[in-house]
Structure 1
Amino acid sequence: MTIAPERVEETVARPLTTGRARFVLILGGLSAFGPLSIDMYLPALPQMAGELRAADATVQLTLSAFIIGLAIGQLILGPLSDAIGRRKPLVAGLALYMVGSILCAVAPTAELLIAARGVQAFGAAAGIVIARATVRDLYSGTAMTKFFSLLMLVNGLAPILAPIIGGQILNWTSWRGVFVCLTVFGGLLLAVVFFLLPEPLPEERRTPARFGSVLRKYASLLRDRGFLGYALASGLMFGSLFAYISGSSFALQGVYGLSPQAYSLVFGLNGIGIVAVGQLNGRIVGRFPERTLLTVGLVVAAVAGFGVLAASALDLGLIGLLIPLFILVSSIGMVAPNASSLALAEQARSAGSASALLGVLQFVVGGLATPLVGLGGPGTAVPMGIVMAGFGVLALLAFGTMTRPSRALVAQAA
C-alpha cells in the first residue's frame, strides 16, 4: 500500500488527526534516530573514558565514527530508496541498528566501541535519510516547510529527553545500559515501521539505482549551486551544533562543575529551545519567505556563536556561557526546516539522493568539527567556542554567496 501524496498534502494546515499524528510521530522518531543515539550517552562520556582507560579525545571518536557512519549510510541508502521504495531499506537499516547497538553494549575496548558505533550509525542512517525523503515525496513548497517544522516538535524531544534518560540510567547501571535501551528503542521503531508505515513512493516514481546513474545524480546535485549553498549552510550549522554536542559534556561538567544530572537538564532546556523556535517557524512560514527566515536563523546563530566564544575566553561564568549556547542551539529550529525545504524544493524525482547528500554534508561537517573541540584539552571551553563561532560564520557566508531566490519566490513576492 502507498500513501496518496495529494491526500496528505491537503491536511497540512489542519489540526492533527489520529492518523496524521501517527504519521508525524513515526517520521519524527525516524529523523530523531541519529540525535537520540548521540545525545543519550553524552552524560556517560567521562565514565566511559575511565572504564575503558581511554583518553577523552579517543572516547570522542565514538561520536566521529557515528557521524561518519551516518554519512556513508545515507549516501548508499538514499539512492537505493529511490530505486526500490522507502520501506525495504528502512526495515533493513533498523535491524542493522539493533545489531550495532548490541555490539556497543558489549564492547570491551574503546577501539571496538568506535567500530560498533559505525555499524550502529549505518543502520540509523536509513531512518534519517528516508524520513526526509518521505516528506519530499508527499509535500512541496510551504507545505513541506511546515511539515519539517512540525517534525521539529518530535525531533526536539530527542535532545530534551535523551540526556535526561541517559543521566538517570547512569544512576542504576553503567554506560552499557544506555546502549541496551537504544537496542530496545530500535526494536520498537522497527515494529512500528513494519506494521504501520505504508510505502510513500509509488513504483512509477522510482528511478534505477545503477552505479553510474547514481554518480551522475550526485555530480548533478553538487553542480547545482543553489542546492549546494543551502546544503552547506545547513551542514555548517550542524558542525557548530556538533561542536556543542561533543564539547559541552566535558566543558560544563569538567570546567564548570555540573553533575551529569544537571548537565542533562541544561541540555534538555536547549532542546526546548529547538522545539519552540521550530513551532514558531511553522506558524510564520508563508507570511514570511523561507529565505528570510533562514537568513534570520543564520545571523542569530553566528552572533550567538561569538557570544559562546567571548563567554569562554573571557571567563564570563556559567550563566554567561549558557545564554548564547541556548540562543545558538535554538536557532536550529529555524535553520533546519527552511534549509531542508529550500534544498529539496527542486528534487522531486531524486528526493532520496538529495536527502542523502543533504544529510552527508551535515554529518561530515559535524564529524570534522567534533575532534577539533578536544584539541585544547579538558580544562577549557575555548576550543568549543572557536569552532561554534567559526562554523556559524561559514554557514552564513555559504548561504549569502551561493544561493539566490528562485523565480517562483520572486514572482510570489511580486
Structure 2
Amino acid sequence: MSQLMSLPGTDVPLPSLRRQARITAGLVATVILLSAIAPLATDMYVPAFPRVAGDLSATASQVQLTLTTYFVGMALGQLIGGPVSDQRGRRRPLLAALAVMTVASIACAVTGSIAVMMAARFVQGFSGGWAMVIGRAVIIDLASGARLVRLLNVMAGIGGVAPIVGPLLGAVILQLTHWRVSFWIVAALGLFMAVAVALAVPESLPPERRHGGGLRAVMTAGGAVLGQRRYVGYLLVSGSIMAALFAYVATSAFVLQSMNGMSPIAYSTDFAANAGGMTAAALIAARLAGRVATRTVILTGQLTALTAGAAMLVGALWFDTPLALVLGCFLALMVATGLIIANSGALAAAEVPDHPGTGSAVLGFVQWVVAGLTAPIAGLGGEDTAVPAALIMVSGAALSMIGLLVIARPKRPE
C-alpha cells in the first residue's frame, strides 16, 4: 500500500478512491446537463421580456432586474456552493440545490407579481449556480490529466450550444403557448436532473478528503489572489466585457422587437446566430493557442467590441437605430466576447497557480455580479432607446482594454 500513488493533499491512495466512485457515461451526461441549465433558464426567457412586462404590469427596467437577481444568485451560489461541498461532500448538497431550483422555477411560473418574480429568480440562480459548481467539482474529483481536459472541453462545448437552443426554444414556446411554460420546463428539468443525480452521480469526495476550511478559507485565499496585480487586470478584462455582453442580452429583445418590429421567431434566430458566432470565435481562439500571442487575440476582440459599441452609439443618437446596423453590432460584440472571455480566464489562472480554485471562483463571481448589475442599468432608457446599451458597450470595451494594457501589462525585463 505504501507504494501506491496518493492524490495531492491527501494520504488516501488513488486506487482506493477510484474504487469508491468512477466516471460513467451517465455521470458525464448529468454534469453536462447541469452546466447547461443556467443559459437555458436565461435564454428561453429573454425573448418573452416584452410580454412579461405587459402581463406583470412592469417596466422594462423591472423585467431586466429579474436578470440581475438571477445573475447575482448565480454568482453567490458558485462562490458558496463549492466550499460547502468541500466540507460536506458533493451528492447531498447537489440534490438539495436541485430541489430548491425546482421549487423556485415553479414560483416563477405561477407568480403574478414582478417582486415575487425577482425573488424567485434570485433563488433559482443561487441554487443553479450551486449545482453547477458542484457538478464541475465531481468531474475534477474523479478525473485528471488529459481525461480531465477532454471532459471539461465537452462541458464548455455544451455551454456554447445551450445559448443557441435556448432562445429558439423560448420563441417556439411564445408562438405556441405562454411564456410561463419556459419556467415549467426548467422545473421539469430540475426534477429530471435530481433523478439523474440519484441514479448516476456517486459521492466523489469521501469523508477523509473533506476539510473544514469553509468560507473563511475562501476569504483568505481570495485576498491572496486579489493581491496579484496582473490577476486583477485580467479580472477587469473579463468583467468589463461581460458588462458589454449583458447590455446586449438585457436590451436586445426590446431593441429588435419593440423598436424594429422583429417577430419572436426572427429575434430568437438572430440571438442563436450571434451565440453561434461567439462559439465559433472561441473555437478559433483555441486553434490560435500557441500560434498567436493570447494577449494579441484578446486585444483584437477588445478593438472589435469597441468599434461595435461606437457604431451602435452613433446609430442610436443620430440615425434612429437602423436594424441592419444593430444586427451587425450585436454580432460583432458576440464574436469579440468569444475571443476575450476564455483567454482572459486562462491568463488570470496562470497568475495565481497556488490558488487555481479560488481564482476561478472569484472570476466567476465577478462575471455574474457584473452581468446582474448591468441588466437594469442598460434598461434605464426604457423600451424606445438603445443609447444606454451602446454606452455600456463602449465603456465595457474601453475598461477591458485598460485592464489588459495598463493593469495586466507584461513585466519589464530586468
TM-score range normalised by the length of the shorter chain = 0.7 to 0.9
The CA deviation at 1:94 is 2.2
Deviations 1:17-49 (A, max 9, x none): xx8987775554333322221111111111111
Shift of 1:312: 2.6
What corresponds to 2:407 in structure 1? 402
Identify the residue that residue 79 of structure 1 maps to in structure 2: 83
The answer (yes or no) to whether the contact 1:149–1:333 under 8 Å persists in 2 is no
| Cα shift at 1:294 | 2.7
Q: Return the TM-score normalized by structure 1.
A: 0.83
Between 349-358 and 328-337, report the one with greater CA deviation: 349-358
Q: Specify the SS of the correspondent of 1:376.
A: coil
Question: 2: CA distance between counterparts of 1:349 and 1:83?
Answer: 20
Instruction: After TM superposition, give the deviation of residue 102 of structure 1 in Å.
Output: 1.0
Q: What does residue 16 of structure 1 align with?
A: none
Matched, 1:232 2:236: yes
- Of 35-44 and 214-223, deviating more is 214-223
Structure 1 counterpart of 2:381: 376
Percent identity between the aligned chains? Answer: 38
Identify if the C-alpha distance between structure 1 residues 232 and 46 changes in structure 2 by more than 3 Å, giving closer, same or farther. Answer: same
1:334 aligns with 2:339: yes
Pick closer, same or farther for the CA change 1:51–1:132 going to 2, 3 Å.
Answer: same
Q: Residue 276 of structure 2 aligns with which residue?
A: 272
Q: Which amino acid aligns with 2:220?
A: R
Offset at residue 249 of structure 1 (A): 0.7
SS of the equivalent of 1:217 reads: helix
Name 1:36's counterpart in structure 2: 40
For residues 282-297 of structure 1, the aligned pairs below 5 Å read 282-297=286-301
**Could you say if the C-alpha distance between residues 170 and 269 of structure 1 is closer, same or farther in structure 2, counting changes exceeding 3 Å?**
same
Q: Tell me the equivalent position of 2:397.
A: 392
Q: Which amino acid aligns with 2:359?
A: A
Q: Structure 1 residue 152: deviation in Å?
A: 4.1
Q: Distance in 2 between matches of 1:268 and 1:287?
A: 30
Task: Name the CA distance, whole Å, in 1 between partners of 2:339 and 2:204.
Answer: 26
TM-score, length basis structure 2: 0.83
Aligned partners of 1:132 and 1:355 also within 8 Å: no
Q: Is the 8 A contact 1:149 1:278 kept in 2?
A: no
| Number of residue-to-residue matches in the alignment | 390
Q: Which amino acid aligns with 1:177?
A: V
State the structure with more CA Rg: 2
CA distance in 2, matches of 1:127, 1:341: 23
Local SS of the residue matching 1:32: helix
Are 1:306 and 1:389, in contact at CA under 8 Å, matched by a contact in 2?
yes
**Gap runs ≥5 in structure 2:** 1-6, 9-22
Q: Distance in 1 between matches of 2:238 and 2:311?
A: 20
Letter in 2 for 1:186: G
Q: Which residue is 1:51 aligned to?
A: 55
- Show the counterpart of 1:14: none
- Alpha-carbon separation, structure 1, partners of 2:138 and 2:403: 27
5 Å-filtered alignment, 1:68-147, equals 68-130=72-134
Question: How far 1:200 sits from its partner (Å)?
Answer: 6.2
Query: Aligned partners of 2:224 and 2:138: how far apart in 1?
Result: 21
Letter of the 1:332 partner, please give it. Answer: T
Contact 1:80 1:209 in 2 (8 A): no
Q: CA deviation at 1:265?
A: 0.8
Query: What is the alpha-carbon root mean square deviation over aligned residues?
Result: 3.1
Distance 1:225 1:194, change over 3 A: farther
